[in-house]
Amino acid sequence: METWMSGGVGRAQGGYDEMVFRAMVQEDARFYDPLGLVSKGTEIDFKTGANAYLYGTRFMDYLGFTTARKNCSPGGDAMLTVAATTPRFSARVRLPLEESWRRWIAFEHGFQRQNLLAVREHPVSEYRDLTRRDLGRSRAPTSRGRTKLLAAVKYPGQLAHIVSIGRSDGRVTEIKEVKGASGYPTTLLLFLHPHQPSPSHTH
């Protein structure tokens, strides 16, 4: 619901959840049922609630794709219909939760197998590491001359800061500290040099 209510910015339309479940199918990993998710699934969580978000988001997407869209337009309207079923799930979706969950897992396996076949049609891109140090989670746009990457990083015990990363030598240079940084909200990074004019429109 966070995704649809924020105009499509969120996990349901991002690549992370997709990557996780594709890897699970590739490695024949176990999919938790609802009871297993709230017991063992949370016990092994690397972050509190991460598995619940992963499974819950994907399951709700599946219901919006298969069940709710029969009665309304796809997208946000379908998700609102699914969200409204929570108190009377079986009556509105017309299937017990356990059966809906089982069908989702079967659908996910078939869906991801098709994705894996498509991925295998193309060779793996060559790459080289710019640096051996972990640099955080932000996207890294290039500088005007395309010689450097610009990124936000956050190391344990340090203030978050903006850095430049040399594309030829991997040199990491701190540009500016960012006080009060948070780990999860989606952010579009814009850094203005103090001697450059501000753009007329900033989003």
Q: Which domain holds residue 136?
A: 129-203
What's the rounded Cα separation, in Å, for the pair 16 and 95? 29
**pLDDT value, residue 157:** 80
- What confidence score (pLDDT) does residue 201 get? 45
pLDDT, residue 54, reads: 85
| pLDDT (0 to 100) of residue 82 | 64
Residues 191 and 107 in one domain: no
Residue 62 phi/psi, 5° resolution? -60, -45
**Predicted local confidence at residue 121, as pLDDT:** 94
Q: Tokens 């966070």 — which residue?
A: 2
Task: Tell whether 98 and 177 lie within a shared domain.
Answer: no
For residues 14 and 112, state if they share a domain.
yes
Dist. CA 30–CA 145, nearest whole Å? 47
The pLDDT score that the predictor gives to residue 88 is: 58
Q: Are 89 and 154 in the same domain? A: no
Among 74, 92, 120, the domain boundary falls at 120
| Residues sharing a CB contact under 8 Å with residue 39, sequence separation 6 or more, in sequence order | none
Which residue, chain included where needed, has tokens 């796809």?
74
Same domain, 135 and 116: no
Residue 203, pLDDT score: 40
According to the model, what pLDDT value does residue 202 have?
42
Provide the pLDDT for residue 184.
62
What pLDDT sits at residue 167?
87
Rounded CA separation 67/92 (Å)? 9
Domain termination site, one of 120, 154, 183: 120
Mean pLDDT by 10 residues, the chain (203 residues): 63 78 94 86 66 84 73 57 59 75 95 94 87 72 84 82 88 87 64 54 42
Q: Which of 101, 120, 139 is the last residue of a domain?
A: 120
Residues 17 and 88 in one domain: yes
State how many domains the chain has.
2
**Domain match, 18 and 114 both:** yes
Beta carbons of 11 and 49 less than 8 angstroms apart: no
Asked if residue 54 and residue 90 are part of one domain, the reply reads yes
**Does 99 lie in the same domain as 8?**
yes
Within this chain, do residues 115 and 163 fall inside the same structural domain, yes or no?
no
Residues 33 and 105 both lie in one domain: yes
Q: Are residues 137 and 110 in the same domain?
A: no
Strand pairing partners for 76? none
